[in-house]
């Protein structure tokens, strides 16, 4: 029989609940931390989290708690699924409760806005005692919670972290692939959200499949160009965390970033759209960081610039598309294997 682990998930939203449910399905002793007492009660008594995963029946063995210390006490592995905006704050609250050597896996696909720091770095700064990993891939929470076949990537500098996480999460509907480019995997998860906004906008404008296909492929070229200059391995972008996640978020209305783009494309106001979403869309802040960085580092990023002009400078979508069509047509594939 496979080993049973004591595991926890920090975060009571869509993704935290989907991952907690997999671990409970796999027979691990699983507790989910969330800040809202009413939702804790709902998970424990009705085995559902209707606000975030409507219609999903959760595994009855999944427990929830508002008590952070009790949740993580004695855990072999803890998964961290808090939006980037609040990650440092929640990590600070965890500092006294995580034993040295505990495995901590970030699933957050965002960048700390004030410091332009990825979540693994935030967690490393606040929780130096843990063994870190990051998990990313085409993982729409609603499909995972409905137990649809899905693949993901766990990446860590410590191969033992990868092996334990694979053992904890692997099941008939969830395939967990291992990688070592932690930086690239994490960066890919954050960057693709920006391009999902653009793709949602294109869908709202009834663009054809040729156009969407060009957009997604040029997005991959642009995001990997940026990531490689920042130190990532270009091959990471050929895998699930790169092209896989870009594809799903650029084509599915289940993606919140895609939905933000779609509503913007229909002419709605950004603040109104974000407020009505009721869930996090990390790409909105990531766009601002990428625009800043592309200027600071002189990286050619026409898609980021165009989206930024539409969202923050009030440019018309039709004007931006027009100027993109006149932009320099550079190389198709920029990375050549030696
Ligand atoms: N949903 C998805 O398909 C996927 C999401 N991700 C990533 O996972 C991360 C989390 O996303 P997701 O679960 O979808 O987000 P949601 O918006 O669905 O939920 C966010 C959760 O975080 C909680 N939260 C926010 N701020 C705090 C805080 N200061 N203290 C405690 N809890 C807090 C919210 O609590 P409350 O309900 O009380 O407000 C809520 O439970 C994001 O970075 C996202 O990109 C990764 C893969 C897939
Ligand atoms: O990352 C995701 C799927 O892999 C979810 O994307 P959204 O945050 O846009 O919903």
| C-alpha distance from residue 246 to each of 168, 192, 319 (Å) | 26, 5, 25
Where residue 48 falls among pLDDT bands split at 50, 70, 90?
very high
Q: What is the pLDDT of residues 264-320, one digit of tens each?
A: 999 999 999 999 999 999 999 999 999 999 999 999 999 999 999 999 998 887 778
Assess whether pLDDT exceeds 80 at residue 322.
no
pLDDT at 108: 98
CB 193 within 8 A of CB 281: yes
27 Cβ neighbours under 8 A, 6+ residues apart: 2, 4, 61
Residues of the chain with CATH 3.40.50.720: 6-180
Q: Judge whether 13 is annotated as a binding position.
A: yes
Atom of ligand 2 nearest to the CA of 257: 9
In the structure encoding, which two tokens stand for residue 311, read together? Answer: 């969202």
Q: Judge whether 184 is annotated as a binding position.
A: no
Q: What is the pLDDT of residues 253-275, one digit of tens each?
A: 999 999 999 999 999 999 999 99
| C-alpha distance from residue 106 to each of 37, 51, 263, 273, 318 (Å) | 24, 23, 29, 27, 38
Q: Judge whether 15 is annotated as a binding position.
A: yes
Check pocket membership of 257 for ligand 2, CB cut-off 6 A: yes
Q: What is the mean pLDDT of residues 175-203?
A: 97
pTM equals 0.96
Residues of the chain with CATH 1.10.1040.10: 186-325
Nearest to 299 by CA among 259, 334, 338: 334
Atom of ligand 1 nearest to the CA of 139: 48
Distance 10 CA to ligand 1 centre (A): 9
Q: Which residues line ligand 1 (CB under 6 A)?
A: 11-16, 34-36, 52, 81-84, 86, 89-90, 107-110, 139-141, 279-280, 282
Where residue 50 falls among pLDDT bands split at 50, 70, 90?
very high
CB 203 within 8 A of CB 259: no
Where residue 338 falls among pLDDT bands split at 50, 70, 90?
very low
Q: What is the mean pLDDT of residues 32-47?
A: 98
Q: Which CATH fold would you assign to the domain 186-325?
A: 1.10.1040
Assess whether pLDDT exceeds 80 at residue 53.
yes
Question: ipTM beyond 0.90?
Answer: yes
Q: What is the mean pLDDT of residues 329-338?
A: 68
Q: What is the mean pLDDT of residues 47-57?
A: 98
The reply to whether CATH 3.40.640.10 applies to domain 6-180 is no
Distance 96 CA to ligand 2 centre (A): 31
The reply to whether 192 belongs to the active site is: yes
User: DSSP of 66-109, one letter per residue?
Assistant: S-HHHHHTT-SEEEE---HHHHHHHHHHHTTTSPTT-EEEE---
Distance (Å, rounded) from C-alpha 100 to C-alpha 160? 15
CB 69 within 8 A of CB 97: yes
Q: Judge whether 257 is annotated as a binding position.
A: yes
Q: Which of 3, 57, 92, 192 is the catalytic position? A: 192
CB 133 within 8 A of CB 155: yes
Question: What is the bridge-based pairing of β-strands 117-118 and 174-179?
Answer: unpaired
Q: What residue's CA is closest to ligand 1, atom 21? A: 13
Where residue 337 falls among pLDDT bands split at 50, 70, 90?
low
Atom of ligand 2 nearest to the CA of 14: 10
């Amino acid at each position: 029989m496979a080993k049973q682990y004591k595991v926890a998930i920090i975060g009571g939203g869509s993704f935290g609940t989907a991952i907690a449910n997999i671990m409970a399905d796999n027979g691990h002793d699983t507790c989910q931390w969330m800040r809202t007492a009413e939702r804790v009660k709902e998970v424990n008594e009705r085995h559902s989290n209707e606000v975030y995963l409507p219609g999903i029946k959760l595994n009855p063995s999944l427990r929830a708690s508002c008590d952070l210390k009790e949740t993580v006490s004695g855990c072999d592995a803890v998964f961290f699924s808090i939006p980037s905006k609040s990650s440092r704050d929640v990590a600070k609250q965890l500092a006294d409760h995580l034993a040295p050597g505990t495995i901590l896996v970030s699933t957050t696909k965002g960048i700390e806005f004030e410091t332009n720091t990825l979540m693994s770095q935030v967690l490393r700064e606040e929780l130096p005692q843990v063994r870190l990993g990051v998990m990313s891939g085409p993982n729409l929470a609603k499909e995972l919670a409905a137990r649809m076949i899905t693949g993901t990537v766990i990446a860590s500098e410590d191969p033992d972290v990868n092996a334990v996480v694979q053992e904890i999460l692997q099941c008939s509907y969830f395939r967990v692939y291992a990688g070592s480019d932690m930086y690239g995997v994490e960066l890919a998860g954050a960057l693709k959200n920006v391009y999902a906004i653009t793709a949602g906008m294109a869908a709202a404008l009834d663009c054809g499949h040729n156009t969407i296909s060009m957009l997604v492929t040029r997005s991959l070229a642009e995001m990997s160009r940026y990531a490689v200059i920042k130190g990532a391995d270009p091959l990471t972008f050929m895998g699930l965390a790169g092209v896989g996640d870009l594809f799903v978020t650029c084509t599915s209305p289940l993606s919140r970033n895609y939905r933000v783009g779609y509503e913007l494309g229909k002419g709605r106001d950004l603040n109104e759209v974000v407020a009505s979403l009721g869930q996090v869309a990390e790409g909105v802040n990531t766009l601002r960081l990428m625009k800043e960085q592309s200027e600071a580092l002189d990286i050619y990023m026409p898609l980021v610039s165009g989206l930024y002009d539409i969202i923050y400078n009030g440019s018309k979508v039709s004007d931006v598309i027009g100027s993109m069509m006149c932009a320099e047509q550079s190389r198709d594939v920029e990375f050549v294997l030696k």
